[in-house]
Amino acid sequence: METTNARMSIWEDGTRLLVHRNGGTKVLIANVYDVLPSPARSFPADSLRRHLRWGRSLIKGVFVIFLIVSASQGGCSHATLPESAKSEFSKQSRWLDADVQAVSVGCASDPATPAWAMENPFFSVREIQANVNFLADARLGGRMTDTPGNVETARYIAGQFADAGLQSAGDGGRWFQSFPVPILKVPSRRCVLRVSDQPPLELHKDYSPIALGTNGAFDGPLVFAGYGLNNRIRRYNDYESLSVRGAVVMVLAGEPHNESGQSRWALKGKWTRLAGLGYKIRKAADAGAVAVLIVAPETILPDPESLHYVYGNGTGPIPAIRICRKLADRLLSESGTDQSIASLVAKIEATRKPVSFAVGTRIRGLVDLRDGVGQNVVGILPADARADARERPRVLVVGAHYDHLPIGGAKAKDHGLGVRPGADDNASGIAAMIQLAKALARTPGRKADIVFVAFGAEEIGFCGSKYYVNHPVRALEDTYAMINIDQVGRMRGSRVAVIGNVLENPLGPALKQASAQCPGLKIVKIPFISKNRWSDQAPFARSDVPTLFFFTGFHRDYHRRTDTAEKINLPGVAAVARFAYGMMRSLDARGK
């Protein structure tokens, strides 16, 4: 073995995690590779063993990975230790000791389970499904911060909070707490796009500026430049015999592809760097264009076609605008040629050669990108019982983010343009929080003020939760716990990971009680307190508020177009909401 005096060690082949007690050895993990995420499984055993030599803390880290994967993947066997073995661990391993016993929490039934923890008419699978279906609808465009779909989502959540019986607690007594997001640039209402001297086109319906370009007015004749690419290796240049100086250039999104939308130039399911929108904008600018219009062929972005924008900081070389196919076809028809986007794509595919030409129609416009604005949706459930009216109110916070991704960008895990619905991330968490609010609102005897926050702009740096921590609707020093619900829609094997202050008051005892009262769930406690990452609990943890993060694991659809509503484990979401209800009731009864 690597270490003879350690209470935990790794076997010589680097694959087994062992626990030693009373002169004996118990295999805790039979094969480390079985519980590591798939990328880590490619590590050679000697490399893994060499990294684990760096210290006992890294061995503990492997065990935490084991717990996380146990929560998120089925097929991992339970690992339990007798109490006598756990007592052998040193004080430095106290947090690990709690993890060991956590794996089996909730596996045995408890005949004393109270009705409020297991049965509640307000944990409705039907309502959860309705909420998830609405939030993950493709017409919302992925709910990116400060898009029309994001604003509509916030209003919907406010309506759900009102129906649950919460009181609005945002700015000026409204439901919304607005905050600036300067790292995000979005089109203002001053944006204009005209065809010749015709009336202005409709923003977000006919066109939508993207922040990979820049601000400014433009005016020039329209030129079609194929995919707007110059691939020297393939000897494919859309600008080779085309003058675009002083012109507005229309280009296709993507690159030459087959009928299934797969690139001709890259591995299956991938695009080359030339297909990036930023590259197309730079190439148009280098060729002398004054602005670029980008249209997505139906083979790349099927209907419903979303014009909601991508992330950007507004520092591109020229104004850039996405336009819908209907407008693009109209512009092409005005050139006097019998062309459409579909026919041009088919021609490029058939000839495997660039197709570029002057359209002639004059295009005028103005792009005005402003700093983004996010919104938290904030509701409060006031305490209805307090022993002493002069006592400062105790506060609990429940949070879940409602924003997701744009139609493309760096955070997407799949290629190309398209709506990432975010059914699990995090329509599932919002749906669970709404059910939790309804159940608590109908539970008498609450001693704490419970604040519910649907956070905005989580995907771009926890902007909403950071703002709330700096502008709380109830004093942060009175907030004795924060529960965050994020990605709870893919429960497998009845596992739920609970990450955070699982050992400390008041969360430790409350979690232990709630776990014992929910025998149907396998609660995996992970005492990892992140103050900088993972989700919206981080800003609260940084402010020394005890936090718990409910999570049912990653999956292959994470940040992809395939994270859709029909894949959500609806009873699993209801079970998480029911467990959170037990946690909240226990915390409310215990206090600080």
Residue 108 covered by a domain: no
- pLDDT, position 53: 44
Q: Are residues 378 and 456 in the same domain?
A: yes
CA nearest neighbour of 99 among 43, 17, 34: 17
Position 109 in a domain? no
> In whole angstroms, what is the distance from residue 573 CA to residue 569 CA?
6
Q: Measured on CA atoms in the order 363, 365, 369, 375, is the torsion positive or negative?
A: negative
- For residue 380 the two structure tokens come to 């409060």
Range scoring the smallest mean pLDDT among 177-181, 186-190, 258-262: 258-262
CA 117 to chain centre: 29
Q: Of 60 and 341, which is predicted with more confidence? A: 341
Measured distance CA(455)–CA(481) in Å, rounded: 17
Contact status, residue 359 vs residue 334, Cβ threshold 8 Å? yes
Is pLDDT above 90 for 36? Answer: no
CB-based burial label for 354 (10 Å; 0-12, 13-18, 19+)? buried
Domain boundary among 367, 385, 404: 367
Same-domain check for residues 136 and 89: no
The H-assigned helical ranges of 73-147 are 83-86, 94-102, 115-118, 125-135
157 with 232, same domain: the answer is: no
- Do 443 and 559 belong together in one domain? yes
Which range, of 54-68, 443-457, 474-488, averages the lowest pLDDT?
A: 54-68
User: What is the average pLDDT value for the chain, to the nearest integer?
Assistant: 79
Q: Is the pLDDT of residue 461 over 70?
A: yes
> Residue 110: what pLDDT?
37
- For residues 253 and 307, what is the distance between their CA atoms, to the nearest angstrom? 12
Provide the CB-side half-sphere exposure for 73 (13 A, CA): 17
Is the domain of 18 the same as that of 35? Answer: yes
Which domain, by its residues, includes 48? 8-102
Whether 2 is covered by a domain: the verdict is no
Residue 138 lies in a domain: yes
Residue 72 has pLDDT above 80, yes or no: no
pLDDT tens column, 494-523: 899 999 888 887 888 898 888 888 877 889
- Residue that finishes a domain, picked among 367, 395, 415: 367
Per-residue pLDDT band for 303 (boundaries 50, 70, 90) equals low
Q: Is the pLDDT of residue 30 over 50?
A: no
Segment 326-343 shows an average pLDDT of 88
Domain CATH code at residue 327: 3.50.30.30
Domain count, the chain: 3
Q: How many whole angstroms separate alpha carbon 429 and alpha carbon 550?
A: 9
Task: Judge if 81 and 36 occupy the same domain.
Answer: yes
Residue 57 pLDDT > 90, yes or no?
A: no
Q: Are 579 and 510 in contact (CB under 8 A)?
A: no
Distance of alpha carbon 311 from alpha carbon 408, whole angstroms: 8
Closest C-alpha among 455, 497, 406, 502 to residue 186:
406
Q: Which of 278, 352, 263 is nearest to 317 (CA)?
A: 278
Non-local (6+) Cβ contacts of 172 within 8 A are none
Instruction: Please identify, among 321, 341, 367, the residue that sits at the C-terminal boundary of a domain.
Output: 367
Lowest-confidence segment of 79-83, 254-258, 544-548 by average pLDDT: 79-83
435 and 555 both lie in a single domain: yes
Q: What is the pLDDT of residue 515?
A: 87
In the chain, the percentage of residues whose pLDDT exceeds 70 is: 75
Same domain? For 358 and 220 the reply is yes
Q: Is the pLDDT of residue 531 over 50?
A: yes
Res. 490: pLDDT tops 80: yes
Mark whether 429 and 319 lie in a shared domain.
no
CA torsion sign for 8, 13, 14, 15 is negative
pLDDT for 589: 85
For residue 126, give both structure tokens: 């039907």
Q: In terms of domains, do 357 and 378 share one?
A: no
| pLDDT(126) > 60 | yes
- 228 within domain boundaries: yes
Most confident of 86-90, 98-102, 339-343, 404-408: 339-343
316-to-136, 210, 285, 320 alpha-carbon distances in Å = 31, 10, 9, 8
Q: Let me know if residue 385 belongs to a domain.
A: yes
Integer angstrom CA distances of residue 387 from 151, 381, 584: 40, 18, 19
State the pLDDT at residue 206: 94
* One domain, residues 573 and 441: yes
Of the candidate ranges 51-55, 153-157, 286-290, 385-389, the one whose mean pLDDT is the lowest = 51-55
CB 450 within 8 A of CB 421: no
Q: Is the pLDDT of residue 327 over 50?
A: yes
Does the pLDDT of residue 78 top 50, yes or no? no
202 lies in the same domain as 327: yes
pLDDT 10s digits, 215-249: 999 999 999 999 999 888 889 999 998 999 999 99
In a domain, 440, yes or no: yes
Q: How far is CA 148 from the centre of its chain?
A: 18
